[in-house]
Structure 1
Amino acid sequence: MTREILINAFAMNAPGHLSPGLWRHTADRSADYRHIRHWVDLAKTLERGLIDGLFIADVVGVYDVYGGSVDAAVRGGVQVPVNDPLQLVPAMAYATEHLGFGVTASVSFEHPFPFARRMSTLDHLTGGRVGWNIVTSYLDSGARNLGQARQAGHDDRYDVADEYLEVVYKLWEGSWADDAVLRDRASGIFADPAKVRPIRHDGPNFKVPGIHLCEPSPQRTPVLYQAGASSRGRRFAARHAECVFVGGPTILILKRIVSDLRAAAVEAARRPDDIKILNMQTVILGRTDSEAEDKAADYRSLVDHTGALALLSGWTGVDLSTYGLDEPLRHVKTEAGQSALESFTTADPDRQWTIRELAQWCGIGGRGPVLVGSARTVADQLQHWIAETDVDGFNLAWAVNPGTFEDIVDLLVPELQRRGAYKTAYRPGTLREKLFGDGPRLNARHTGAGFRTLP
């Protein structure tokens, strides 16, 4: 039986995401990120192609590690300016019926009590089509602007995240009973106070004594995405994630990441398929292989290689301006994204990446691989990646926006459908039901389900 592929469109509320310099292309409209029509049109295009979701990245901070300055990022529009991703969702949800929305929000920069309300509100407004990409953040620049000297240590951030998740599970899953809301006009009782419970959370990082401000939303807990593939990140994912977003640059590295994540899920008393794993990739499509190669060459001519190194410096915490272009990247201990650095150093001991190679690699699509060709060629490659690595699908980034996504919808999706490798209709229900085929709420094996009954 042919395996069905999951596909998210990967975007950011900014003029540049993972292909620095491509905003200059005459076909690119990513500078229209400020206008709601840009996002509504994108959402309609993605739903026309039965794309599973729009996954919206975010950073609270700027890429100032490269050269110790914001200059390269600001000059090149490298994920700055960047607007709030959550505020895009209601308009796009209103214009669509099925498309899911994965929004990135950091546990390091917002208290869980107001955040839980924001996500419940989105879940209500979208009819249960929202997911949360849980990140702990990696840019010291963001921490400094919130009055902190620097980010907490890498593993310490995950310790805080574990408690953060405990707080929001209590709010989303346990505070309001399923039958708490009566809306009884005759008696004048809107909700039964005996069935609305304070969570009484008193932990080392957060103290939240009261009730959740929102009545239960369609999913209660949004679909939980997580993007860490470090050792500590995998343990966190095993407990909390339903979908894990990774950035394996090669089949060998991705296969190891997927295997480790599935094993970690089993250790956490879950099933291997309780977690959907999606790799970051970019596809450049044409009606023929030759047309696609010409398009890719055109895109590469506009890449901002300094901007690419600014991105990688921010992800890894290593100032790549201190290296020579033909010098290999060395593994060092940092408090930034450990999986990003491992991917290009220790993950494949037979591969040494020079700074020049990294600037070219990350110039289109960031850390993920770029597949170029006709729909038939790219479909072959995607199915090969799935067969070799056991990954469930892909977060597909743009090279030019909206052209990359239009090509995915108009060329790639029909080819995958012809092979029986892509759905021909959305499943009914919430985002969780569409992705997993189960009910709208966390399954019983998930750690969050244990908070439905509060002490």
Structure 2
Amino acid sequence: MTREIRLNAFDMNCVGHQSPGLWRHPRDKSANYKDLDYWVNLAKTLERGKIDGLFIADVLGVYDVYGGNTESALRNSAQVPVNDPLQLIPTMAHLTENLGFGLTASLSFEHPYTFARRLSTLDHLTKGRVGWNIVTSYLNSGALNIGMPAQTRHDDRYDLAEDYLAVCYKLWEGSWEEGAVVRDREAGIFTHPDKVHPIRHDGPFFKVPGIHLSEPSPQRTPVLYQAGASSRGKDFAGANAECVFVAAPSKAVLKKYVSNVREAAARAGRNPRDVLVFNLQTVIVGETDAEAKRKFDEYRRYVSYEGALTLISGWTGIDFSQFQPDEVLRHRKTDAVQSAVETFTTIDPGKEWTVREMAEWVGIGGFGPLFVGSPETVADLLQEWVEDTDVDGFNLAYAVTPETFEDVVDLLVPELQKRGVFKTEYRPGTLREKLFGKGPRLAAPHPGTRYRDLAALAEPAVLNL
């Protein structure tokens, strides 16, 4: 098989990220997350390995479902403390040349008019190497802390997301025509006023009459990532996303998900191959299988059972402190991350998972699968998953950082390159050009392209999915 495998590094501006408790490991440096040198060194390592991008997760809220308070989250650094991811990117981009940056930003907590300017600014500063991971947020604590009475119901958040994106598309794609900015010193004209248009958006959630404040950035619209795995989320991704992030724990679950997303893209009138799907994956690589197993056994000794359940409780909306470790997991529907509730009932349909087993699974790398082995062993498994599921690549979580990423770059990437399934050089240009080998801008029939001619655009403003 010669199909190219895409790899992102998956991180967060916090301690431990998806591996609760492993911040205590003597070689883990995630507690240095406040130091820009930590992030610059990571970016340079990833670029040396020709990794596609650094995908930075984020949450606005605290995992307070477990025990009904924040004590466990704070004690175990379960994604708290957590800092703003956006402010890391300009420095990392300035000191690298090719690495892409996927920014997670929730549309539930910031108005699209101001957010669109922040992303345009970031696209300018990175010379077009930024993507936006569109999330709708699931933590009730985040909603309460910005004055909302409660988190919006799951499917209702996607109604808001459709209107939000319509605003952003109009600002990024339609407000400023090509050639609006001329910088004509002799005539004294910087921008032709007749080529800059108010968007006059009047949607069910947002009223935005004016012009975009930023001139067009290299990509105009950043590369669009989306991580929704519910039925509504997959429809939204099929219509809008260029890259989709999923955390499928088994090949069967992943194959079905990839197929559903590609079908959703086709229903939206898009080429299903215009959507790249990345699965959450953790790889522990050693020079031999035995060396990798030794690392894994060492890492496992630092996993926090309570920390793992704190994360799972936040993801699912279910307080797992009320269950005994050997109690069997039962499916429940909540307004949190619906796919997380379903995950463990679909890994092995014949297996009944206990709470303890679930915590052990999540303890290193989160919901995604874990591969342990030599470069040859792990490369075999990655190729097998690509071939069997039609996934395009993997978002690689860490067990211990930067060690996990250094092992990927120094051991795994050379093996994948030797097999001809991983690039040896970056493509030139913006992140969109590097990922898709086409132009820097959204291409038809992506729905965002419909907003380039605002005068000809017919309402409704909300995208029809």
TM-score by length of 2: 0.97
Unmatched runs of 5 consecutive residues or more in structure 1: none
Q: 1:333 Cα deviation (Å)?
A: 1.7
CA distance in 2, matches of 1:27, 1:325: 30
Decide whether the 8 Å contact of 1:102 with 1:132 is kept in 2.
Answer: yes
Partner of 1:287: 287
SS of the equivalent of 2:281 reads: strand
Quote the residue 1:120 is aligned against. 120
Counterpart Cα distance in 2 of 1:345 and 1:178: 51
The reply to whether residue 101 of structure 1 matches residue 101 of structure 2 is yes
Structure 2 equivalent of residue 427 of structure 1: 427
**Unpaired stretches in structure 2, ≥5 consecutive residues:** 456-465
Deviation, structure 1 residue 346: 5.2
Residue 270 of structure 1 corresponds to 270
Whole-Å Cα distance in 1 between the matches of residues 243 and 218 of structure 2?
A: 19
TM alignment of 1:165-184, pairs within 5 A: 165-184=165-184
Q: Which residue number in structure 1 is paired with residue 447 of structure 2? A: 447
- The answer for the alignment partner of 1:147 in structure 2 is 147
Distance apart, 1:130 and its partner CA: 0.1
d(CA) in 1 for partners of 2:414, 2:159: 44
Contact 2:333/2:341 (8 A) holds in 1 = no
1:258 pairs with 2:258: yes
Q: Provide, for residues 108-165 of structure 1, a one-character-per-residue CA deviation record: whole Å limited to 9, x for no partner.
A: 0000011000000000000000000000000000000001121100000011001000
- Quick check: 1:29 aligned with 2:26? no
SS in 2 for 1:110: coil
Match of 1:372 in 2: 372
Alpha-carbon spacing, 1:111–1:17, altered in 2? closer, same or farther (3 Å): same
Alpha-carbon RMSD across the aligned residues, in angstroms, is 0.9
Query: What letter is aligned with 2:318?
Result: V
What SS is found at the alignment partner of 2:101? strand
| Residues 1:221 and 2:221 aligned together | yes
Which residue is 1:74 aligned to? Answer: 74
Deviation (angstroms), 1:347 = 6.9
Higher mean C-alpha deviation, range 336-345 or range 242-251: 336-345
2 CA distance for matches of 1:345 and 1:287? 35
- Measure how far apart 1:349 and its partner are: 3.3
Tell me the CA shift for residue 353 of structure 1.
Answer: 1.8
Per-residue deviation, residues 32-79 of structure 1 (Å, max 9, x unmatched): 000100000100000000000000000000100111111111001110
Look up the equivalent residue of 2:52 and give its one-letter code: D
Superposed displacement of residue 92, structure 1: 0.1
TM-score norm. by structure 1 comes to: 0.99
Measure the CA separation in 2 of the matches of 1:287 and 1:180.
Answer: 56
State the distance in 1 between where 2:182 and 2:259 align. Answer: 47
In structure 2, what is the equivalent of residue 17 of structure 1?
17
Identity %: 67
Q: CA deviation at 1:204?
A: 1.5
Counterpart Cα distance in 2 of 1:257 and 1:318: 24
| Secondary structure of 2:33 counterpart | helix
Query: Following the alignment from structure 1 to structure 2, what is the Cα–Cα distance between the partners of residues 4 and 13?
Result: 29
Taking the aligned partners of 1:346 and 1:68, their CA distance within structure 2 comes to 28
Partner of 1:345: 345
Measure the CA separation in 1 of the matches of 2:298 and 2:112. 45
Alignment-derived partner of residue 298 in structure 2: 298
How far 1:352 moved relative to its partner?
2.6
The one-letter code matched in structure 1 to 2:433 is E
Which residue is 1:317 aligned to? Answer: 317
> For the residues of structure 2 that align with 1:141 and 1:358, how far apart are their CA atoms?
24
1:52 aligns with 2:46: no
| CA contact 2:13–2:58 (8 Å) conserved in 1 | yes
C-alpha distance in 2 between matches for 1:158 and 1:56: 22
Separation (CA, whole Å) in 1 of partners of 2:299 and 2:447 = 44
Give, in whole Å, the separation in 2 of the partners of 1:391 and 1:42: 26
Which residue in the other structure is 2:87 paired with?
A: 87
Asked if the contact 2:131/2:225 (under 8 Å) is kept, the reply is: yes
Q: Deviations over 1:351-371 (max 9, x none)?
A: 332111101000000000110
Name 1:186's counterpart in structure 2.
Answer: 186
1:323 CA displacement: 1.7
Q: What is the rounded CA distance, in whole Å, between the counterparts of 2:312 and 2:255 in structure 1?
A: 22
Q: Which residue of 2 aligns with 1:8?
A: 8
State the alpha-carbon separation in 1 of the partners of residues 352 and 341 from structure 2. 12
- Partners of 1:15 and 1:42 lie apart in 2 by 15
d(CA) in 2 for partners of 1:202, 1:325: 51
SS in 1 for 2:224: strand
Alpha-carbon separation, structure 2, partners of 1:107 and 1:326: 38
1:398 aligns with 2:398: yes
For each residue in 1:235-278, what CA deviation from the matched residue of structure 2 results, as whole angstroms up to 9, or x when unmatched? 10011100000000011111111111111111111111110000
In the alignment, is the contact (CA less than 8 A) between 2:249 and 2:347 conserved in 1?
A: no
Contact 1:277 1:391 in 2 (8 A): yes
Partner of residue 133, structure 1: 133
Shift of the alpha carbon at 1:208? 0.6
CA 260–355 in structure 1, closer or farther in 2 if over 3 Å, else same: same
Task: Please report how far the alpha carbon of residue 348 of structure 1 lies from its aligned counterpart in structure 2 after TM superposition.
Answer: 5.3
The answer to whether the 8 A contact 2:250-2:347 is kept is no
Q: Which residue of 2 aligns with 1:163?
A: 163
